[in-house]
Structure 1
Amino acid sequence: MEQLTDAAIRKSFINATRSEVSALNLPAGFAGLDWDNLDYLGWRDPKMPQRGYLITPLEGRAVGVLLRAPETSTPGNKRVLCALCQDVHSEEDVYLYVARRAGQSGRDGNTVGTLICADFVCSANVRQEVPATPIHPDPAAVTAERIAGLRQRPTQFLHRVLGR
């Protein structure tokens, strides 16, 4: 992902009010993010834990959505699959994040949701070393395929937020 500035991040949101954007807190360690190994930028607001943010490239520019996390997580014995990284081996919690739709539809109260790793660790998940198997003898090809899928799925979610 292309490195973003604070101003570019704040300008990217399509479903947030000016006051929501001005109140957002950047992720911890923002200055040291490894942009080369991020497929999207996602984080939970450290001061407002029920608020999350997801920014991904769309049609040549960074586009962000404000997300709402659930008040409680899924009980520990229930595992759900993140819709973005689709990592079946991850032990991370997965939340149903909800986003207001962009434009008038969102102002009217319409929302869309998707399952995302609670702490937005998808980029690290898809880069985990994969063992060679008879079905997938080339682990590097599997990793490349997983990264390509992760770059595509946040864009699909943004299209739903935009009502496309």
Structure 2
Amino acid sequence: MEPLSADEIRRSFVNSTKSQVKAIALPSRFTELPWESLDFLGWRDAKAPNRGYLVVQRDGGVTGIAVSTQTSGAARRFAGLCDLCNTAHHVSDVALFAARRAGSAGREGNTVGMYMCADLACSLYIRGLRELDLPQGETATPDVRAERLTNRLETFVRRVLS
């Protein structure tokens, strides 16, 4: 992913009001992000843990999507799978994120959802840059996994935009 400025990120959101965009807290250590290892920029809001953000570089520009989730309660011993990167986690480390659809559909309350890594760090997991607690059955290379992630993310973005 190419580095983005704070202004570029804020201008990219398609499912948020101007006041919501103004209130977005950028990721901690924003200036130190490993852009070269990211397929998308994803982070949880430190001030509002039920909110998260995805910023995706696509043909024709950058698309930002605000998502929300509920806090997961106590940790359980079961496994969960991220629908974006197909990484297995403890079930409490996977969350259902909902995104308000863009435009009139979103204003009418329509949302789309997807199970994702709770910390939105899919890019780091598929490259082995963040530790996993569970054994993985994936044998594909990080490049193949990144391509799959990009395709799944594009499908999610299109659902938000449609």
The question of a shared fold, defined as TM-score above 0.5 by the shorter chain, is answered with yes
1:142 aligns with 2:127: no
* Distance of 1:27 and 1:2 partners within structure 2: 16
Paired positions, count: 153
* Distance of 1:33 and 1:75 partners within structure 2: 29
% identical aligned pairs? 42
Query: Is the contact between residue 38 and residue 123 of structure 1 (CA under 8 Å) also seen in structure 2?
Result: yes
TM-score normalised by L of structure 2: 0.87
* Distance of 2:160 and 2:151 partners within structure 1: 15
Deviation at 1:73?
4.5
Q: How does 1:89-128 map to 2 (within 5 A)?
A: 90-91=89-90, 93-128=93-128
| Residue aligned with 1:20, SS | helix
CA deviations on 1:84-123 (whole Å, 9 max, x unpaired) are 11023x4570100000000000000000000110111211
Query: Is the contact between residue 73 and residue 95 of structure 1 (CA under 8 Å) also seen in structure 2?
Result: no
* Distance of 2:39 and 2:73 partners within structure 1: 25
Structure 2: gaps spanning 5 or more residues? 130-137
* Distance of 1:61 and 1:53 partners within structure 2: 17
CA RMSD of aligned residues (A): 1.9
Deviation at 1:71?
3.1
Range that drifts further, 57-66 or 97-106: 57-66
* Distance of 1:112 and 1:73 partners within structure 2: 22
Query: Is the contact between residue 57 and residue 155 of structure 1 (CA under 8 Å) also seen in structure 2?
Result: no
User: Runs of 4 or more off by more than 6 Å in structure 1?
Assistant: none
1:26 aligns with 2:26: yes
Query: Is the contact between residue 85 and residue 150 of structure 1 (CA under 8 Å) also seen in structure 2?
Result: yes
* Distance of 1:143 and 1:11 partners within structure 2: 30
| Residue aligned with 1:64, SS | strand
> Which amino acid counterpart does residue 110 of structure 1 have in structure 2?
N
Structure 1: gaps spanning 5 or more residues? 130-135
Deviation at 1:75?
4.6
* Distance of 2:144 and 2:58 partners within structure 1: 19
